[in-house]
Every structure is written in C-alpha cells, then in structure tokens.
Structure 1
Amino acid sequence: MLIISDIHGCRPALEQALAWFDRLECSTLLVLGDLLNHGPRNPIPEGYDPQGVAALLNQYADRIIAVRGNCDSEVDQMLCDFPLLAEYNWLLVDNKRLCLTHGHLLGPNQLPPLRAGEGIIYGHTHLPQAQWLAGKLHFNPGSITGPKNGHPASFGYFDGQQFQVLELSSGQPIATALWSQS
C-alpha cells in the first residue's frame, strides 16, 4: 500500500508519489485527505492544478481508499470518481483494525476506540510519524506538498510487515514501525 496525504492540488508532487506507487508495485492507494484545494491558511503550491490532480487520481480510482480532509468539499467529490467524503474509514490487516482519517477530527489527541495492537493512520499535520504509543500504532506519512518543521516531502508505504515514511524525492526511509509489536 502507498499512503499519501495533503496533496493540496499539487500535480507535480502527486506525479512523483504515483511513480512510487508503480515502482513499488502497490495494489492500494490510501489517500488521507486534502486532495485538491490548498486551503485558506496555506500558500498556493507550485504546480497547483486541482483538475489535473483529480484526473490523475481518477486513473487509480479502483485502487483508492480515501477520507475527507478539512480542505475537501462536495465540489471536490464532483471531480473524483472514487468516494472521498468519509470522515474516517477502517482497514482490517491481520484481523486488526487501522483507523484511516485525515487528523483534524480524529487523530493522535482524539483517538477512536482502539484495542492494543491496532492503530491510527492520519495526515493533516504534514509531520511524518511511525511509532507505537501505549500499544497503538500512530502513523502519519507526512505531506507530499508543504511538509513542515524542516521535514522533506514524504509518503507512506506498507509492505505487510512494516509501515515506513519515505522521502518523496529519494525513497529513503524517514521513520519505520513494524506492524506486529512483539
């Protein structure tokens, strides 16, 4: 699985992420919100092309699981051929639940009900994270557009054994967490 968040309408960043999707031979693309719009607090990114971003994502529509970010709206849904307005979604991996969310409603400070060994995958903060806290996985792929606090643009990758945050330009690991805690 490739995991991206906070595209904010930046076509060149999405093109890079989709190249990794193909290179890593992923079968599923998790999109954690803020797909097309830059948002009122963010600068307009270089390569801003919301319609182009929608068109690119639509090519992968049958492989996308998406959730709504705080910058996504019903108008965005009109451009996309896959559902993107759910506030959260659940993914079942090895009979354990992962809550997929953008991070502005549910997130590390407002967890959904999770059992030990389960986790939350979120975006919103533009800060990469892959770690177990109090027996629960906290994973944030960072942002492919507008990373914060000096972090490089990044995306997430899950190979069935570990969750990794990888640098968008090089694919170098930034953070890693094993899926099964022993």
Structure 2
Amino acid sequence: MKVLVVSDSHGWSEMLTELKDRYEGEVNALIHCGDSELDADDPAIQGYVVVRGNCDTEDEFPYDIVEGVEGRRMFITHGHRYNVKMSLMKLSYKAQEYGADFVFFGHTHMLGTEKIDGTIFLNPGSITMPRGSHEKTYSLVEADDGQVNIRFFDDKHQELTELNCTFSL
C-alpha cells in the first residue's frame, strides 16, 4: 500500500493539482484530511479522498471516511470533531470502533505520527500554513507485510529525512 496524505491546503488548488500530477498512478490513494476550502466539483480536488474540515463549507464532503486499501483499513477525518488539539484519546476510541490500521487527520497544522494500541496515527501537517515548524508538508505512507514507512516532504517536494519514521506492523 502506498498513499499520499495532505491536509489544510486552505484554497491552494495549484498545490493539490501539482501533487496529483506528480503522484497519481504511483500511489493507491490521494487523501486530503480537510480544510481544502474547495468545492466538490473543483478539478484540483478530483481524484482525492476528501473529508470536511472546520473551514470547509462543502456539504458533499463527509466528516469521516473509512477506506480500505490493499487490505489496510484507514480512518480519515479532519480532527476538529475529536478535539485533536487537546488529545488523541477521542480519535483513538473512534479508530478502535472502526478497527482502523491507520488514522489520517489534520486540523492542528502540526505534523506528527505515532502508534497507539497497534494503530498508526498521522497528521501530515499543513501544506500552506504550518505550525510548530516552517516547512509546509505532506506525507507518503508505504506499508508492506512487515513495516510502515512514513516520509515527509515540503512544498518543493524535498524529502525531510529527519522527520521520517518507520513502524512495524
């Protein structure tokens, strides 16, 4: 499984188009964790699995999506409805309820990843307005039979190797 995860683009449709052009056909899914601030029919967001963030007005985007890719179960949400700025506890409970292998979320504009009770949680940061660092970021997640590699990239597509991490499955 290989997926691209981006969040909090806040209207920057050119970057979403650029990511799609760069990775479509190379990844199993393009995932946007909310606050695109785009309409559902905007060409830039077409091809992405998209959830609704707190700054989105598009009713067509659901708040949560559970998606299966190559036998892995992904729970995708923006995070604002689970108070992710305070704790991952509510999000973790929902992930357990869904039987998720991965949780992809945004909202905080701060990248991070951790494994909680066997589930991998990933916030790719913000591709437009990062907090906690200066890099505008997105992630590539690659999982095989034994491990998960999470790689972070900036808006110039330079890999931020010091932020990358690996988890066993």
TM-score range, shorter chain: 0.7 to 0.9
Does residue 164 of structure 2 align to residue 176 of structure 1? Answer: yes
* Structure 2 counterpart of 1:109: 89
TM-score if structure 2 supplies the norm length? 0.74
Bigger shift: 113-122 or 134-143?
113-122
Q: Determine helix, strand or coil for the equivalent of 1:171.
A: coil
Structure 2 partner of 1:88: 64
Contact map agreement 1:126 1:143 (CA 8 A) in 2: yes
Note the C-alpha offset of 1:54: 4.7
RMSD: 2.8
Secondary structure at the aligned position of 1:21 is classed as: helix
Structure 1 gaps of 5+ residues are 37-52, 78-82
Equivalent residue number for residue 20 of structure 2: 21
Q: Which residue of 1 aligns with 2:136?
A: 153
Change (3 A) 1:33 1:156: same
The change in CA–CA distance for 1:117 and 1:177 in structure 2 (over 3 A counts) is farther
Q: Does 2:109 correspond to 1:126?
A: yes
Once residues 145 and 128 of structure 1 are traced to their aligned partners in structure 2, the CA distance between those partners, rounded to angstroms, is 12
Local SS of the residue matching 2:96 = coil
% identical equivalent positions: 25
One-letter amino acid of the counterpart of residue 22, structure 1: D
**Greater share of residues in strand:** 2
1:117 Cα deviation from its structure 2 partner: 7.5
Aligned pairs for 1:26-41 (under 5 A) are 26-27=26-27, 28-36=29-37
Distance in 2, matches of 1:172 and 1:72, equals: 29
Structure 1 residues 136, 69: closer, same or farther in 2, change over 3 A? same
Give the 5 Å matches for 1:36-51: 36=37
SS at match of 2:81: coil
1:39 corresponds in structure 2 to none
**d(CA) in 2 for partners of 1:66 and 1:120?**
14
TM-score by length of 1: 0.69
Q: Secondary structure at the match of 1:137?
A: strand
Letter in structure 1 aligned against 2:6: I
1:135 partnered with 2:123 = no
Q: Deviations over 1:5-62 (max 9, x none)?
A: 11112x3xx42343233223445321111112xxxxxxxxxxxxxxxx559942552x
Supply the AA of the counterpart residue of 2:120: L
Native 8 Å contact 1:16 1:169 kept in 2: no
Partner of 1:164: 151
Pair 16,87 (structure 1): closer, same or farther in 2 beyond 3 Å: closer
